[in-house]
């Protein structure tokens, strides 16, 4: 059983589309703090913090019967040494999109699978990072303001969502689209097997 430590409906939907049995549990806030760490290290540390900050105790019964493990993910945008997280307001979203307009930038989604020390067993952890490259079309300020006004930017890494209206501003994606959306399912399956020794369960049809 995957205990998905995320409030993102997109991550939940990706697991559903993959047919993997899971439940969603609460975790620490998703806000990004200022950091001088390299992008990949920052994404991994944030994914680890989310996994370890999850409220797994409320679902402790799963660990005894379903090979349960906590899975968390963190997505950031990287461009020319700068890291873009999720904008918290419209002004921040507009600035992000203006900086990303017409660029080719990297999307990094880090994943952490964590099994707490429970039932007399030591804790286990595995991490994986998936990277994609996005080429964004040039956007006018009118385009940016109209998009931000739709409300879609808030809570999205880089201020846009390729699975929704933001797709019209994307010229090309090199890599897996799931990485850009925020959860690389193949990476989740691999680190889950590494931690639990089992393949993730499929949802009942």
pLDDT in tens, 65-119: 778 999 999 999 999 989 998 888 999 999 999 999 999 999 999 999 999 998 7
pLDDT for the residue 8: 87
Tokens of 88: 């918290």
The pLDDT assigned to 107 comes to 96
pLDDT at 23 over 70: yes
* Topology (CATH level 3) of domain 2-196: Maf protein (3.90.950)
Structure confidence at residue 86 (pLDDT)? 87
Model pTM score: 0.91
Per-residue model confidence (pLDDT) at position 205: 54
The whole-angstrom separation of Cα 47 and Cα 39 is: 12
Q: Are 123 and 111 in contact (CB under 8 A)?
A: no
> % helix / strand / coil in the chain, to the nearest 5?
40, 25, 35
**Can you give the pLDDT at residue 31?**
58
Nearest to 1 by CA among 43, 56, 47: 56
Q: Could you tell me the residue ranges of all domains in the chain?
A: 2-196
On whether the CB atoms of residues 175 and 131 are closer than 8 A, the answer is yes
Burial readout 148-169 (b: 16 or more C-beta within 10 A, e: otherwise) = beeebbebbbbbbbbeeebeeb
Q: Is 143 helix (H, G, I), strand (E, B) or coil?
A: helix
pLDDT at position 49 is 95
- 32-72: pLDDT as tens digits: 555 678 899 999 999 999 999 999 988 888 887 778 999 99
| pLDDT score for 120 | 80
Catalytic residue among 29, 30, 55, 74: 74
Predicted confidence (pLDDT) per residue in 163-205, tens digit:
888 889 999 999 999 999 999 999 999 999 999 999 998 876 5
Annotated active-site residue 74? The verdict is yes
pLDDT digits (tens, 9 = 90+) for 116-146: 998 788 899 999 999 999 999 999 999 999 9
Residue with tokens 């020794």: 197
So what's the pLDDT on residue 204? 65
Number of H helices, E strands in the chain: 7, 7
Cα–Cα distance, 62 to 57 (Å, whole number): 10
């Amino acid at each position: 059983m995957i205990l998905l430590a995320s409030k993102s409906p997109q991550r939940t939907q990706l697991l559903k589309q993959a047919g993997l049995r899971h439940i969603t549990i609460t975790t620490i806030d998703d806000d990004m703090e200022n950091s001088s760490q390299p992008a990949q290290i920052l994404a991994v540390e944030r994914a680890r913090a989310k996994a370890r900050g999850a409220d797994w105790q409320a679902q402790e019964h799963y660990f005894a019967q379903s090979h349960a493990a906590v899975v968390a993910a963190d997505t950031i945008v990287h461009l020319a040494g700068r890291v873009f997280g999720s904008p918290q307001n419209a002004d921040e979203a507009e600035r992000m999109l203006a900086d990303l307009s017409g660029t080719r930038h990297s999307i990094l989604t880090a994943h952490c699978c964590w099994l707490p020390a429970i039932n007399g067993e030591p804790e286990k952890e595995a991490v994986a990072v998936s990277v994609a490259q996005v080429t964004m079309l040039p956007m006018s300020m009118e385009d940016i303001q109209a998009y931000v006004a739709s409300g879609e930017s808030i809570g999205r890494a880089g201020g846009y969502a390729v699975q929704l209206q933001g797709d019209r501003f994307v010229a090309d994606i090199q890599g897996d689209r799931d990485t850009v959306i925020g959860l690389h399912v193949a990476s989740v399956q691999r680190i889950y097997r590494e931690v639990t020794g089992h393949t993730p369960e499929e949802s009942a049809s």
